[in-house]
Structure 1
Amino acid sequence: MTSSSPPPLSDAFRAVWRWHFFAGLIVLPFLMLMALTGGLYLYKAEIEGLAYGRMAAVEVGETRVSADQWQSAAEQAVGGTAAAVVVPDRPDRAVQVRVRTDQGERTAFVDPYTGTVAGTVGGQGLMEVVKKLHSLELFGKPFNILVEIVAGWAIILVATGLFLWWPRRGRDVAVALPRPGDPARRPFWRNAHAVTGLYAGGIILFLALTGMPWSAVWGDKFLNVMRESGLGRPPAPAAASPWSHGKDHNAPSGTGWTMEHAVLHVPTEGPGILSRVIATADAGGMGLPYTVSIPADPSLAFTVSRVTRQAEDARSLYVDGMTGQVVADLRWDQFGTGARAFEWGIAVHQGMQYGEINRLIMLLGCIGIWVLGISGGLMAWKRRPRGSGLSAPPKPTDPRARAAVLGIVVPLGIVFPLTGLSLLAALGLEAAWRRLRPRN
């Protein structure tokens, strides 16, 4: 009589399973936080409308006061210096003026018809806090390094998860559809985990890859390579000073990933005139809404950047504030191949490029991460030995089986250096644990 029990797990399967378990245990809490904040940020406009509706709504008048009055009113209300102005795309919406103070930035909502300030909020508002929480910058700049590590390990989780899901001879057929079951039992959550990972894995992989430009190390290095190679930032226009990298208060807002921090010098002295810059933008057909970045350095050009939803609508004007002359007019067709790819990826990442269907797919990816985290945690809890805490999957009997894992993670560790360093740290900790743990 033959046994109906499945064959024993291979050493390669055991090795991948252990790494999948430990990677999920360490990374999923961060991924779940980023999924929650990312899901909220997909609905930025709606949330801000609920939070600031009264301050943002204005009564439409016959004529608007000058933009310089907007700036003056905001600076007096907050007690600082204007850094940027967001001109809305609706006549019944307030102008938003970001003002720098010694305590940080505040945003003032200014009625464009009367020049009165309806109210102010800290920084750039509630969703800026959500954004910084999403990038982990809220905990301090060094924590942004974790974005690259978490994104790298998210890719590893998807790759090892696919390896574990793949059907094998003599074992259960891979789960592709939800199965009925008892939520009190582990198979129910195993099936939920497998089905969710199968369909959400591609979205999670895309989110991880397109989130890399925001990472502190890989993102900055790759951005510099793109600029220097000509695949990113457009070349400097004729008769203009070369591009330079704006620091601190001179970095323009809303220019997109490719032109982030890019500034142009202009041969002028003294402060610029906001009204003149806005008149130039309107005359040049700059689509609404747009952001006017006011440089702290008077020798720099004002930057007017369209607030876009689709990457190909990107446009930035660099304007001499004293004369109103356009120093550079940058559009999508001037972007390099690499810049286009990354700007497109970021627009899709933020759920904007393809309308509501794009946003819903990204939201499903965020929900999928939570389902994976909850189901994975319950699976581990239910398979633990009675009366003990979480226990790792069985380790392989043959140490050489680790090659199955290394074949997946080493290439990723090379492409994403911080992920590679975290991999070495994990291997070191595992080796130290084997040596220090008590032997029976």
Structure 2
Amino acid sequence: MRDPIPSPVSGAYRAVWRWHFYAGLLVMPVLMLMALTGAIYLFRAEIEDAVYRPLAEVRPAATTTSPDRWAAAARVAGGGEVASVLMPDRPDRAVRFTVRRPDESQVFVFVDPSDAQTTGVAPAGGVTETVKRIHSLEIVGRWGNLLVEVVAGWAMILVATGVFLWWPRRRVAGVVTVRARAGRPFWRDLHAVTGLYAGAVIFFLAFTGMPWSGVWGDAILGQMRASGIGRPATPPAASPWEHAQHKADEPGGVGWTMEGATMATPAHHAAPSLERVVDTANRSALARPWLISVPASPDLAWAVARQPTRVEDTRTLYVDGVTGDVRADIRYRQFGWGAKAFEWGIATHQGTQYGAINRWVMLSGCVAVWLLAISGLVMWWRRRPSGGLGAPAAPPGPRVRAAVLGIVIPFSIIYPLTGLSLLAAILIDRTAAAIRRRFAISERTAP
């Protein structure tokens, strides 16, 4: 997207430019959607507080009633069974229950802990859950999750090819500064300089989003569990980890590493009690807020997970709901190095690990995606030929192929779905080129 440059690198430059063009054409619309929803989700805490404040605000009280009374009130108001309980870290906020109804829908029920009175009922998830589902493309089902992996892989290829195109060649203007003039050079420089300053953030966001992907993320998670660099071993006195056979995301709030990890408890004749679980968490000095996941089966432990902003503060208790005994006390330092790295990446991706500066840096990456997309679109519009797509020509030669393959092949190996999409793109490109050659020959030989 820079002025033509002299050989011997002009062929390689044009070839990389061609793939940069096609990568942007294919994934930029989805990437823009993900950047927009990701930017909104960075302010999840503020959005949820504003939305639920009328329902959740209560008068602070010195004493509280029994948590079992809270649960009973939530079941009645929600018309179902309690799935989880969010204990707030502020005395002027109600306890939030997630209640699962017989039709599998869920609602939030807010209960004043001082008198066990219901203060409000709302659909579970709300705005931020919708934003999250759009961001992860869950709204289109399983295929959406696979598409996320493809888009994230191509986003990293876009950054890598963009660095190749940006690399300074005997000038500074348009490389680290935007030239102060209008027209296509201005948009070209804006595109290049935005990519320079935000490329690393965009690459980081794409890479740290991969743990949520359906193929690569699940494969890496399984490998980490098997190799001992992920989920910690269970305490000697506890039963081994069991993968949840009900909801895949239960217990909730425990993070990527412990997702789906359940623990059996000894058989009891008595019923479990939320009050015993809350008392145990308080005695264990578990800092609030924490999320209590009510197990789907009575022979499983209740998970009480702190909801931290920094991964170093991660802590989850597995509590026997009948006796209140702690079956396991899992902390961040017990994770394998692989799990620590990915949990850190996820927290930084979500803008919580390093406070406000972390969030604003991630927001800058989301804004940069839109700037890059708009400037790229304007450049294409200004140079497009009439009746054509305007893709850069593909020059032949081994040097050209080496330049392109040297950038895209590593990503294709690491991320299989990206590799498959690359093969599909090459097949389409060559088929289109063969069709164009055939038409050209037909036109020349026509009488």
TM-score (norm 1): 0.94
- 1:162-311 superposed matches below 5 A: 162-168=163-169, 175-182=175-182, 185-249=183-247, 251-269=250-268, 271-311=271-311
- CA shift digits 1:95-129 (9 cap, x unpaired): 11111121422211222222222222223222111
Is the alpha carbon distance of 1:131 and 1:5 closer, same or farther for their aligned partners in structure 2, counting shifts above 3 Å? closer
Deviation track 1:257-310 (CA, whole Å, cap 9, x = no partner) reads 111111101112464211110110011001000000000111110000000000
Superposed, 1:78-93 pairs within 5 Å as 78-93=78-93
User: CA shift at 1:224, angstroms?
Assistant: 0.9
Question: 2:414 aligns to what?
Answer: 415
The percentage of aligned residue pairs carrying the same residue is 55
Q: Deviations over 1:235-268 (max 9, x none)?
A: 0111211101113337201111111111101112
Instruction: Tell me what 2:105 maps to.
Output: 104
CA contact (8 A) 1:381 1:390 kept: no
Tell me by how many angstroms 1:215 deviates. 0.5
The question of 1:358 aligning with 2:358 is answered yes
State yes or no: 1:315 paired with 2:307. Answer: no
Maintained 8 Å contact 1:316/1:330: yes
The alignment partner of 2:330 has SS state of: strand
Distance (Å, rounded) in 1 between the aligned partners of 2:334 and 2:407: 37
Asked if the contact 1:107/1:125 (under 8 Å) is kept, the reply is no
Between stretches 414-423 and 108-117, larger displacement belongs to 108-117
8 Å Cα contact 1:167/1:174 also seen in 2: no
Q: Distance between the aligned counterparts of 1:118 and 1:139, measured in 2?
A: 35
Q: 1:249 to 1:81 in 2, by over 3 A?
A: farther
Q: Assess if the C-alpha contact under 8 Å between 1:232 and 1:258 holds in 2.
A: yes
Structure-2 separation of matches of 1:6 and 1:413: 29
Equivalent position amino acid for 2:44 in 1: K
Measured after TM superposition, the shift of residue 60 of structure 1 is 1.5
2:130 aligned residue: 129
For 2:340, give the aligned amino acid.
Answer: R
The aligned counterpart of 1:10 is 10
Distance across 2 between alignment mates of 1:388 and 1:187: 24
Letter in 1 for 2:233: P
Q: Secondary structure at the match of 2:255?
A: coil
Residue in structure 2 matched with residue 49 of structure 1 by the alignment: 49
Residue 148 (structure 1) aligns with: 149
Residue equivalent to 1:391: 390
8 Å contact kept, 2:174–2:193: no
Q: Structure 1 residue 397: deviation in Å?
A: 4.2
**309-318 vs 146-155, greater mean Cα deviation:** 146-155
**Residues 378 and 269 of structure 1: CA distance in aligned 2, closer, same or farther (over 3 Å):** farther
Structure 1 counterpart of 2:312, one-letter code: E
Q: CA deviation at 1:226?
A: 0.8
Aligned length: 433
Moved more, 7-16 or 31-40: 7-16
Greater shift, 11-20 or 66-75, is seen at 66-75
**TM-score, normalised to structure 2's length?**
0.93
CA 282–422 in structure 1, closer or farther in 2 if over 3 Å, else same: same
2:257 aligned counterpart, secondary structure:
coil
How far apart are the structure 2 equivalents of 1:353 and 1:68? 34
Counting only pairs closer than 5 Å after superposition, residues 328-339 of structure 1 correspond to structure 2 as 328-339=328-339
The aligned counterpart of 1:65 is 65
C-alpha deviation, 1:173, in angstroms: 5.8
SS at match of 1:76: helix
Q: Secondary structure at the match of 1:248?
A: coil
Q: Distance in 2 between matches of 1:373 and 1:5?
A: 22
CA distance in 2, matches of 1:277, 1:195: 54
Q: Distance in 2 between matches of 1:151 and 1:103?
A: 32
Once the two structures are TM-superposed, the CA of residue 48 in structure 1 deviates from its matched residue by: 1.3
- 1:158 corresponds to which residue? 159
Secondary structure of 2:160's partner?
helix
Q: Which residue type is aligned with residue 258 of structure 1?
A: T
The residue type paired with residue 116 of structure 2 is G
Counterpart CA distance in 2 for 1:22 and 1:318 is 50
Matches within 5 A, 1:363-382: 363-382=363-382
CA distance in 2, matches of 1:273, 1:389: 69
**Secondary structure at the residue paired with 2:17?**
helix
8 Å Cα contact 1:98/1:124 also seen in 2: no
Alpha-carbon distance between aligned partners in 2 of 1:248 and 1:123, rounded to the nearest angstrom: 19
Letter in 2 for 1:188: F
Corresponding residue of 1:94? 94
In structure 1, the partner of 2:341 is 341
What's the secondary structure of 2:327's corresponding residue? strand
Q: In the superposition, relative to structure 1, how do residues 321 and 5 fare at CA in structure 2: closer, same or farther (>3 Å)?
A: closer
Q: Give the superposition deviation at 1:87.
A: 0.2
* Alpha-carbon distance in structure 2 between the residues aligned to 1:136 and 1:6: 40
Task: Give 1:73 deviation, angstroms.
Answer: 1.6
Structure 2 regions of 5+ residues with no counterpart?
A: none
Give the whole-Å Cα distance in 2 for the aligned partners of 1:173 and 1:181.
Answer: 12
The letter of the residue matching 1:221 is: A
Query: What is the one-letter code of the residue matched to 1:338?
Result: G
Give the counterpart letter for 2:126 in structure 1.
G
| Contact 1:249–1:295 under 8 Å retained in 2 | no
- Once the two structures are superposed, what CA deviation does each residue of 1:133-156 show, in whole Å capped at 9, x if it has no partner? 111112213211111111110110
Task: Write the distance in 2 (CA, Å) between the matches of 1:256 and 1:103.
Answer: 23
